[in-house]
Structure 1
Amino acid sequence: MKNILIVSSEAIPYIKTGGLADVAGSLPKYFDKEKYDVRVIIPKYKCMDEKLVPQLKFACHFYVNLNWRKQYAGIFKAVNDGITYYFVDNEFYFAGDKPYNNIYEDVEKFAYFSKAVLESLPYIDFEPDIIHCNDWETGLLPVFLKTTYGSDTFYSNIKTVFSIHNMRFQGRWKMREVADITGLPEHIFNSNELEFYGEANYLKGGIVYADEITTVSPSYAEEITTPEGGEGLDGLMLERRKHLSGILNGIDYSVYNPAKDKYISCNFMSPDKDTNKPYGKEVDKREFQEKNGQKADKNAMLIGIVSRLTDQKGFDLIAYVMDEILETTDIQFCILGTGENQYEGMFHYFQSKYPDRLSVYIGYSEERAHQIYASCDAFLMPSLFEPCGLGQMMAMRYGTIPIVRETGGLKDTVEAYNEYENTGTGFSFTDYNAHDMLHVIKYAESVFKNNKKAWNEMMVRDMNKDFSWDASARRYEALYDRLTEK
């Protein structure tokens, strides 16, 4: 039996701001439980889902030496869906109304968290063979393990895997302050280890010190070794390329299941025998349109967006051509997300200008997200870069055709429609260009309106694709096995 501890700053069902939570909370359920004991540890945030807090049981407490500071750490424990979760409790660090705050606060918070995880192991009586870290928030854990704890026999055989979910977010702050916070040896703050353009870089620390590095799609693993995708760390990624692998994320098919989804009006799964189209989807579309004040027109292509509203997601392209789309087509939009003020304001503007064509919900609603996946005809993700992307997989599960830019995980999961061979699972464009996107959206609309047979067959292909976590879990198991056999 191999013991695996997944360390993350968030995990469903307890706390979620993005795809990292889906990975940390869903992946553990798919490992072979006879061979792997996989557990998860996250911070005990005050802003966690209140309904789940009563299941947390106090396990132990101890104190963490964070350089000259001595900080309390409590450990709580819960079992959810057969997986053991641990929670690091410290109200000074985790009592805010959101999990992430200003970077100068977060660098101390997550340095504390990384060290508290390591300190907790003897207390929780779990000695992992592998600690699987995720993103910059846990980047210092491999650093602490090999420096501060390097001579401690309890920790000497523990290996680390470091997963990069988004290269752009690196946890960078002033070196002197980080050295003061962490108490790490002065000599590691150099250009080959933690230093990056005069700052300390948590993500770089994880990349340098981890035994193996993964990212969340094969294409993104290639892209981060290039100047265009490496966010300044492409040289380091090339140097560590032999220890870098891309493992595509999956989605939890017990959660995203149109046949049993509690959030949608009409469940569906099997294709209708007459139209080769999943029955029930038209009912969901009509009711969703009516609920949102849009014309209940089955012939109007309804495009959904569920996303963080940031530059990365391609919203500058959408801003540039939205007027043209809504003035020259019958296309309708429904948007769910929160993020940068300029994009929240942009969608509010278009909603006021085209109230019967576009609906916007600023914030996050799991119920509404599922309704968008189930009700829409197409799903738009024109990302500048996309390490993996989960939205396109969720949409395809519900027979909603993705329209994407060919980058990262979008390139790995969406095969462009070929009208001559009647193949493909979606529509895509290559260059980051608003009019290329517009052309593909209009092409998708023409197929939707004029070739229903091809569209419906593509829907069925999408619903039959397997993006469950099973294949990903097998690849992680193989990685863990290689690492422990070294």
Structure 2
Amino acid sequence: MKNILFAASECVPFIKTGGLADVVGSLPKDFDREKYDVRVVIPKYTCMKQEWKDRMEYVTHFYMDIAGQDQYVGVLKTVLNDITFYFIDNEHYFGGFAPYDGDPKWEIEKFAFFSKAVLSILPVIGFRPDLIHCHDWQTGLIPVYLDNFRYLGEYYRGIKTIMTIHNLKFQGVWDTKTVRGITGLPEYYFVPDKMEAYKDANLLKGGIVYADKVTTVSNSYAEEIKTPFYGEGLDGLMSARSGDLCGIVNGLDYEDWNPATDNRIAKSFTIDDFRKNKPVNKTSLQEELGLEKDPKVMLIGMVSRLTDQKGFDLVDYIMDELCQDAVQIVVLGTGDVKYENMFRHFAWKYSGRVSANIYYSDELSHRIYASCDTFLMPSLFEPCGLSQLMSLRYGTLPIVRETGGLKDTVEPYNEFEKTGTGFSFCNYNAHEMLNTIRYAERIYYDKKRDWNKIVERAMSQDFSWKNSARQYEDLYRSLIGE
């Protein structure tokens, strides 16, 4: 039996701000339990729901030096779905109303504390991992501290690490002198071939340099980040580590996202009866959101953060033109004020045909995935993306830009070979996107039988976590054996 410890800043169902939480909460359930004991450690935020705090049991506590002070480290744990979750308690660092508060220096101190604490609790919780799987910059210091701790004694020698990059844009950067003071690490680590990048200390870079293997969340993104456009200043390092870098596409929780059993949608459906039952969801959503009731009109959905990264500048550019077509549009999400107001404006201008829901609701997101005909996702870059996987699962055909995980998971429709699970365009160009949407419209209205065949192929794709877990197991085996 091999011991694996996942370390991350968030994890469903305890705390979530984005897709990282889904990965850390869902993936451990799908490993082979006979071969791997996978456990998870996250911070114990005071903003977690009380029901989860009530389930935690006290394990131990001690004090640890960080930023020149002795800080309390409490350890609690709970078991959920046969997985053991550990929580590191310190209200000085993990108080507040949200997991992240936007102050970069404070975030660095908070997650330096967390990274050092993850290693420090191991001797006292009775679980020595063969491998620590670190997620994103918040855990970037774990491989660095591990290198440092190896000099302190036998216990930490031989523990392997994997660094998974969910989004290279976020790196944990601050001035070297301050970060040295916070971490207590020797000057030896703050040089250009280790943690320093462009005169600053970079926590993610430290993790990438010191981890035994580096992964990211799709094959295409693993290739893209070796180039200056996607590399966020670390493309040279990613190329240097390319022998230890691989992409494993994220999965989806197929129990939670299942059109056959989903109680949040108006009418459940399967690959066999979607022709009859999917339109019931559409008319129900149209009624709920005040759109004109018409089961035959093409309904385009978007559930997203409303930011430049997600391609909303392209949408903004062609929205007026698109609204001239025989389509309805429904949007759910928050983000940049300019995009929030843009959608509000078009919902007012094209009342009954555009619905702008400028908030987030898990319930409504399920209904949008179940009800729409197409799902628009024109991202500038997308390490993996989960929305297109949800769309495929619900027979809502993705219209995506060919980047990162979108390119790896959505096969563009080929009407001559009768293949494909969605529609895609290559260049980051508003009218190329509009042409692709209009191509999809043409197939939807003029070739309904072909359209339904694409829906069947989309719904029969398997992007469950089981696939990803097998690939991670192969990677673990390459480092720690059977």
Whether TM-score is above 0.5 comes out as yes
1:49-88 paired onto structure 2 within 5 Å: 49-88=49-88
1:392-411 paired onto structure 2 within 5 Å: 392-411=388-407
Q: Quick one: structure 1 residues 80 and 279, their matched pair in 2 at CA, closer, same or farther if it must change by over 3 Å?
A: farther
1:302-321 paired onto structure 2 within 5 Å: 302-321=299-318
1:277-356 paired onto structure 2 within 5 Å: 277-326=274-323, 328-356=324-352
Q: Deviations over 1:261-297 (max 9, x none)?
A: 121111111423xxxx443211111101110010111
In the other structure, the counterpart of 2:246 is 245
In the other structure, the counterpart of 1:144 is 145
Residue 257 of structure 1: SS of its match in structure 2? coil
Aligned letter for 2:23? V
TM-score by length of 1: 0.97
Tell me, yes or no, if the aligned pair for 1:271 and 1:279 is still in contact at 8 Å: no
CA deviation after TM superposition for structure 1 residue 229, in Å: 1.4
In the other structure, the counterpart of 1:165 is 166
Aligned letter for 2:425? F
Distance 1:279 1:87 in 2: 47
Distance 2:3 2:276 in 1: 44
Q: Find out whether 1:426 has 2:422 as its counterpart.
A: yes
Structure 1: 5+ residue stretches without partners: none
Q: Quick one: structure 1 residues 51 and 183, their matched pair in 2 at CA, closer, same or farther if it must change by over 3 Å?
A: same
Q: Deviations over 1:37-59 (max 9, x none)?
A: 00111111122234333212222
Distance 1:252 1:258 in 2: 12
Tell me, yes or no, if the aligned pair for 2:271 and 2:459 is still in contact at 8 Å: no
Tell me, yes or no, if the aligned pair for 2:149 and 2:156 is still in contact at 8 Å: no
In the other structure, the counterpart of 1:472 is 468
Q: Deviations over 1:147-202 (max 9, x none)?
A: 14433211111100000011111111111111111111112111111111121111
Distance 1:483 1:423 in 2: 38
Residue 338 of structure 1: SS of its match in structure 2? coil
CA deviation after TM superposition for structure 1 residue 361, in Å: 2.1
CA deviation after TM superposition for structure 1 residue 410, in Å: 0.4
Q: Quick one: structure 1 residues 355 and 82, their matched pair in 2 at CA, closer, same or farther if it must change by over 3 Å?
A: farther
Tell me, yes or no, if the aligned pair for 1:270 and 1:279 is still in contact at 8 Å: no
Q: Deviations over 1:373-413 (max 9, x none)?
A: 11111111100011111110011100000000000110000
In the other structure, the counterpart of 2:413 is 417
Q: Deviations over 1:422-481 (max 9, x none)?
A: 210000000000010011111111111111111111111111000011111111111111
Distance 1:359 1:42 in 2: 37
User: Percent sequence identity over matched residues?
Assistant: 57
Residue 279 of structure 1: SS of its match in structure 2? helix
CA deviation after TM superposition for structure 1 residue 31, in Å: 0.2
Tell me, yes or no, if the aligned pair for 1:10 and 1:24 is still in contact at 8 Å: yes
Q: Find out whether 1:381 has 2:364 as its counterpart.
A: no
In the other structure, the counterpart of 1:228 is 229
Tell me, yes or no, if the aligned pair for 2:67 and 2:109 is still in contact at 8 Å: no
Q: Deviations over 1:62-87 (max 9, x none)?
A: 11211411111111111112211111
Q: Deviations over 1:191-236 (max 9, x none)?
A: 1111111211111011001011000011111111111211111111
Q: Quick one: structure 1 residues 270 and 414, their matched pair in 2 at CA, closer, same or farther if it must change by over 3 Å?
A: closer
Q: Deviations over 1:277-320 (max 9, x none)?
A: 44321111110111001011122211111112221110110111
Distance 1:340 1:51 in 2: 33
Aligned residues: CA RMSD? 1.3
Residue 294 of structure 2: SS of its match in structure 1? coil
1:117-132 paired onto structure 2 within 5 Å: 117-132=118-133
Deviates more, 1:225-234 or 1:431-440: 225-234
Structure 2: 5+ residue stretches without partners: none
Aligned letter for 1:301? M
Aligned letter for 2:455? M
TM-score by length of 2: 0.98
Distance 2:62 2:369 in 1: 45
Distance 1:335 1:485 in 2: 47
Q: Quick one: structure 1 residues 265 and 52, their matched pair in 2 at CA, closer, same or farther if it must change by over 3 Å?
A: farther
1:106-125 paired onto structure 2 within 5 Å: 106-125=107-126
The number of equivalent residue pairs is: 481
Residue 162 of structure 2: SS of its match in structure 1? strand
Distance 1:168 1:181 in 2: 23
CA deviation after TM superposition for structure 1 residue 349, in Å: 2.1
CA deviation after TM superposition for structure 1 residue 344, in Å: 1.9
Distance 1:220 1:124 in 2: 36
In the other structure, the counterpart of 1:260 is 261
Distance 1:356 1:172 in 2: 46
Aligned letter for 2:306? L
In the other structure, the counterpart of 2:34 is 34
